[in-house]
A and B are shown apart, each in its own frame.
Chain A
Amino acid sequence: MTLLDFRLIESDFIPMDGLVSHVGNTPLLPLRRVTRDLPAKTRVFAKAEWFNPGGSVKARPALNILHTAIANGDLGNGKRLLDSTSGNMGIAYATFGATLGISVTLAVPANASPERIMLLRALGAEVILTDPIEGSDGAILKARELAEENPGLYWYANQYNNPANWQAHYLSTGPEIAAQTNGQTTHFIAGLGTSGTLMGTGRYLREQLSGIKIIAFQPDASFHGLEGLKHMPSAIKPGIYDDSFADEQLTVKTEAAHEMARRLAREEGLFVGISAGAAAVAALEVASRLEEGVVVTVFPDAGYKYLSDKNLWEGK
């Protein structure tokens, strides 16, 4: 191993483009061991989205929503960005809001983990806690109420209905996957939360790669532990979601996602979050039916934010 000789780097080139230029272009990682029972010609890959600034896939939609709003004059005029979120989207808004000088207000269910609430506040976001028993919908209601009462103060980003959400994936995640697999992706699998990843990436890949199958997955029941994912039959349908878009719909049980998150950590060295575990379950289910193929999914974040969940990491 040789050490980098900094004298060889041109001294007048110091990059000035900050965090925002490092969104996307995440690694596409092969799953090697959890796939050992698959036929040799069936391969499974995951986009390692925790490499994004802010640590999750939400860097993509958050930055595109912010840039689009600034370009349209909705932000950058002194208004605060307002949205409801309980997790990664809030962290991404707060991260890029700080970078771009946009103030951020977030309605968050009070049962979001203390680490998350502290993280949002550390990044300078205003956090308004909502009744935990009402879940994410309670936070959505609060954000809508605040937006209606104070139209001069807030610009309501509304990630569930903002087309800049799915367009971020159409413009980045889709082209990256097509390029990283040399156009050989045969199946793309994504979980449903806002549905932005599925709709944007899926639209691009379907346009570019003939014969590709787009597969959506969601929790198997209304009461579940797949953070960030929505059980669509019992949730508010996001405005950007077209339920006829995917070629196939799968469901994933929380326990299966937990077990897979543990396996990914122990067998692949991939310390990922619960929704990434769910994505691997769905991807392996699809891959197990194939004689050959290139199956690609998205691992939305790393496991750090779920460390306090002892049942998750200490289970068998």
Chain B
Amino acid sequence: MTVLRIPTPLRAYTGGKSEVIVSGAYVLDTLTDLTSQYPAIKPHLFNESGELRPFVNLFVGESNIKDLQGVETPIKDGDRLMLIPSVAGGAYPHPSLLPKGEGTQTPFSFREKGRG
């Protein structure tokens, strides 16, 4: 069993959870486990051909899997996995950053996107 940390933009698809327990011997297995637990997250991580989308950065410990063996990187017991958002913009708002008394001050609706 491995702990996978979920970044704020993807927590809408994990029921708000910042960490999910996944199992598997390789990165791909753990992500398959994640998408079977939370199917709505799948199109955000994989393209139509089932490949990991090019901007998805998954870290095993301190290393990006792009610098290891990609989705075939083996997972050891106790490894910590972390999905990292792009470095600028687009983060789901931290609750303490929202103006007091205001919810989602945006041109679109969160709820349509399944953010609830």
B-side contacts of A223, CB under 8 Å:
7, 9-10, 44, 85, 90
Partner of A193, one of B5, B82, B88, B104: B88
A-side contacts of B57, CB under 8 Å:
111
Q: Which chain B residues in 88-114 approach chain A with CB under 8 Å?
A: 88-94, 96-98, 104-110, 113
Q: Render A242-263 as a binary contact track against B, CB cut-off 8 A, 1 for contact.
A: 0110000100001100100000
Interface check A126, CB cutoff 8 A: no
Do residues A137 and B93 form an inter-chain contact, with CB atoms below 8 A? yes
Q: Which chain B residues in 47-103 approach chain A with CB under 8 Å?
A: 47, 53-57, 66, 82, 84-94, 96-98
Q: Which of A35-43, A72-80, A169-177, A229-237 contacts B (4 or more CB under 8 A)?
A: A229-237
A-B contact count (CB 8 A): 144
What is the minimal beta-carbon distance from A260 to any residue of chain B, in angstroms?
13
Assuming the A-B contacts A132-B82, A141-B94, are A86 and B88 also in contact, with contact meaning beta carbons closer than 8 angstroms in the complex? yes
Interface check B27, CB cutoff 8 A: no
Do residues A135 and B107 form an inter-chain contact, with CB atoms below 8 A? no
Give chain A's interface residue range (CB within 8 Å of chain B): 35 or more
What is the minimal beta-carbon distance from A244 to any residue of chain B, in angstroms?
8
Given A223-B44, A233-B106, 19 other A-B residues pairs in contact with their CB atoms under 8 A? A86-B88, A113-B87, A132-B82, A132-B85, A133-B5, A135-B85, A136-B88, A141-B97, A222-B9, A223-B7, A223-B85, A228-B88, A231-B90, A233-B107, A236-B93, A236-B97, A236-B98, A254-B53, A254-B54
Do residues A249 and B94 form an inter-chain contact, with CB atoms below 8 A? no
Do residues B94 and A137 form an inter-chain contact, with CB atoms below 8 A? yes
Interface check B12, CB cutoff 8 A: yes
A-side contacts of B113, CB under 8 Å:
222, 233-234
Partner of B105, one of A219, A237, A244: A237
- Interface, chain B (partner A; CB < 8 A): 5-10, 12, 18, 44, 47, 53-57, 66, 82, 84-94, 96-98, 104-110, 113, 115
What is the minimal beta-carbon distance from B48 to any residue of chain A, in angstroms?
10
Q: Which of A63-71, A99-107, A307-315 contacts B (4 or more CB under 8 A)?
A: A307-315
Q: How many angstroms between the C-alpha atoms of A111 and B85 in the bound complex?
A: 9
Partner of B54, one of A135, A138, A221, A312: A312
Q: How many angstroms between the C-alpha atoms of A192 and B107 in the bound complex?
A: 13
Interface check A196, CB cutoff 8 A: no
A-side contacts of B82, CB under 8 Å:
132-133
